[in-house]
Amino acid sequence: MKLLHTTIRSFLLVTLAILTVTGIALYLVLRTQIKNEIYEQLNLQTEMIAREISQGKAIAYPLVGVEKLTNNASQQRIQGDSVIYDIVTHEKEDYEYLSTVKIINNHTYRITVMTTFIGWNQYYSTIFYLLLASVFLFTIAGIIMNLVISRKIWKPFFLNLQALRNYSLSNPDKLQLHPSGITEFTEMQQTLEDLTERSKREYLSLREFTENASHEIQTPLGIIQSKLDRMSQLPVSEEMARYIVQAKAGVERLRKMNKSLLLLAKLDNNAYTGKELLPLHDIINDHLEQMEDLFAGKNITITVQATPCSIRSHRYLAEVCLSNLLANALHYTPEGGSLTIILQPHALLLCNTGAPLSFPAVQLFDRFKKGEQHMLTNGLGLSIVQQICLLNHWSIHYNYLQGQHEFRILFPLLPSTTNN
């Protein structure tokens, strides 16, 4: 749930609780005050009637009753309410009355005075509708206020969030965050800037170490390879020759791994910047011709459905990407399996038969991750493919369905294609 929605919901709950308590309190206070005021007026009216009786005046007021009592009659003071039918409005009206016994000129009188009063139900309905209207108005005002405040106060936060999403440690530029007048946002901004700077220094240090290590390894590898080649030309025993072949295979694996690590370091450093428009279908055909004997050696059936398609990329990276995908299919497709290549506008699909992965699919593009049955590979091929896709803003997806591994690469729409 968004922060704005949480704030509005809390605001509405608090507002509803406050207005409910306020409405009940208002109802009780009004009821008490109005009743006190009514009985005060009835007392004054009773005193006025008693004064007129003492003066011998005839009492002929509406809603006033005067009854002469005997000495043994009840002299209890009575007050209450009653409902009387009004013949004018044809409705039952609420009345408050006060019945008081007065001794006037040695005679006992019961004076009863009455006054109309709006019923409590009407007061309750009025307060309820006022409360409902207040809740509605407070709700609308609260939503508008929160929207306005959130757009103004939270604008730097969302701008900084977008900047963090788009930021990469391989970017040479410093992370630029928008300033804010809010203390908490300023502290968070400072913390993020410090964190990214530390992470960037560590990343650059690791990348520099990888590049230097790869370069330094190349020379001794070349020396070892040269010495092994010379040793293989000397007259040696069969056992020694077998050892030399195994050593040369190990050196070759190490050389390929070193080359892959150096390529990954260059990709992280954005060393390949020259992009051009490339016919992908021609690159696919060239690589299939080069690897034709390798696939034929494992009796792998290849099916190609290629629609002419152009991509924008550095040529070397495009060739490495496709070469690694084909090499992966060659390594993991069993004898007599099949490989299907489908090239569509803005999409490339490679499907090869094979056993399911022995590890979670989310780890497929991790560095040095490889199937247990192919320990001779260095486990960097698909990592390089992913980095090339990331550098070119391509998206790559993997799926295993009906006994087939599927790799799908989606290319962005090119302006030149849309014009055609």
The reply to whether 91 falls in a domain is yes
pLDDT tens digits, one per residue of 88-99: 767 777 788 888
- For 383-405, the pLDDT digits (tens) are 889 989 988 889 999 999 989 99
The pLDDT of 184-207, averaged and rounded, is 84
User: Same domain for 140 and 11?
Assistant: yes
Q: In the predicted model, what is the mean pLDDT of the chain? A: 82
Rg (CA), the chain: 47
- The count of structural domains within the chain is 4
Residues 395 and 290 in one domain: yes
Residue 346 lies in a domain: yes
As a whole number, mean pLDDT of residues 214-219 equals: 74
In a domain? residue 39: yes
Q: Please, are residues 302 and 269 in contact by the beta-carbon 8 Å criterion?
A: no
Position 387 in a domain: yes
Query: Does the pLDDT at position 342 exceed 80?
Result: yes
Same domain, yes or no: 33 and 143: yes
Q: Which residue has the higher pLDDT, 1 or 205?
A: 205
Question: Is residue 210 located within the same domain as residue 293?
Answer: no
The last residue of a domain, from among 166, 194, 225 = 166
Q: Is residue 18 located within the same domain as residue 49? A: yes
- Biggest CA pair distance of the chain: 157
Of the candidates 248, 381, 266, the residue with the CA atom closest to the CA atom of residue 324: 381
pLDDT surpasses 80 at 87:
no
CA distance 96 to 78: 11
Residues 267, 386: Cα–Cα separation, whole Å: 11
**What residues pair up with 339 in beta bridges, in sequence order?**
302, 352
Residue predicted with more confidence, 121 or 225: 225
Whether 19 and 161 share a structural domain:
yes
Sheet of strand 395-401: strand arrangement = 301-306, 338-344, 347-353, 404-410, 395-401
Residue 136 has pLDDT above 90, yes or no: no
Angle, helix 183-232 to helix 155-166, in steps of 10 degrees: 0
Indicate whether 252 and 357 sit together in one domain.
no
pLDDT at 135 over 80: no
What span, in angstroms and rounded, lies between the C-alpha atoms of 276 and 416?
Answer: 12
Give the pLDDT band (50/70/90) at residue 1.
Answer: low
Regarding whether 109 and 78 lie in a shared domain, the answer is yes
Chain-centroid distance of CA 315 in Å reads 38
Q: What are the start-end ranges of the H helices in 55-153? A: 120-153
Instruction: Mention every residue, 6+ apart, whose C-beta is less than 8 A from residue 179.
Output: 156, 186, 189
Q: C-alpha distances in angstroms, 305 versus 20, 269, 309, 310, 412?
A: 71, 35, 12, 15, 20
Asked if 80 contacts 39 with a C-beta cutoff of 8 angstroms, the reply is no
Alpha carbon distance 65, 139 (integer Å): 52
For the chain, what percent of residues have pLDDT higher than 90? 18
pLDDT given for residue 295 in this prediction: 92
pLDDT at position 367 over 60:
yes
pTM of the full predicted structure? 0.52
- 39 and 141 both lie in a single domain: yes
Asked whether residue 171 is assigned to any structural domain, the reply reads no
- Domain of residue 85 covers 62-118
Among residues 241, 264, 287, which one ends one of the domains? 264
Task: Decide if 363 contacts 371 (C-beta within 8 A).
Answer: no
255 and 129 assigned to the same domain: no
- On the CB side of 328, CA atoms within 13 Å amount to 25
Is the pLDDT assigned to residue 68 strictly greater than 90? no
Name the domain boundary from 139, 166, 193. 166
Name the token pair of 366: 């991790």
Per-residue confidence band for 120, with pLDDT thresholds at 50, 70 and 90: low
CA distance 329 to 179: 50
End-to-end C-alpha distance for the chain, whole angstroms = 45
Does residue 415 lie within any of the structural domains?
Answer: no
pLDDT of residue 35: 81
Q: Would 209 be classed as within a structural domain?
A: yes
Do residues 133 and 27 both lie within one domain? yes
**Are residues 76 and 108 in contact, defined by beta-carbon separation less than 8 angstroms?**
no
What tokens were used for 270?
């954005």
Confidence of residue 420 (pLDDT cuts 50, 70, 90): very low
Residue 193 in domain: yes
Same domain, residue pair 312 and 342:
yes
pLDDT digits (tens, 9 = 90+) for 269-324: 677 778 889 999 999 999 999 999 999 999 999 999 988 888 999 898 999 999 99
Confidence of residue 419 (pLDDT cuts 50, 70, 90): very low
Q: What CA–CA distance (Å, rounded) separates 188 from 157?
A: 9
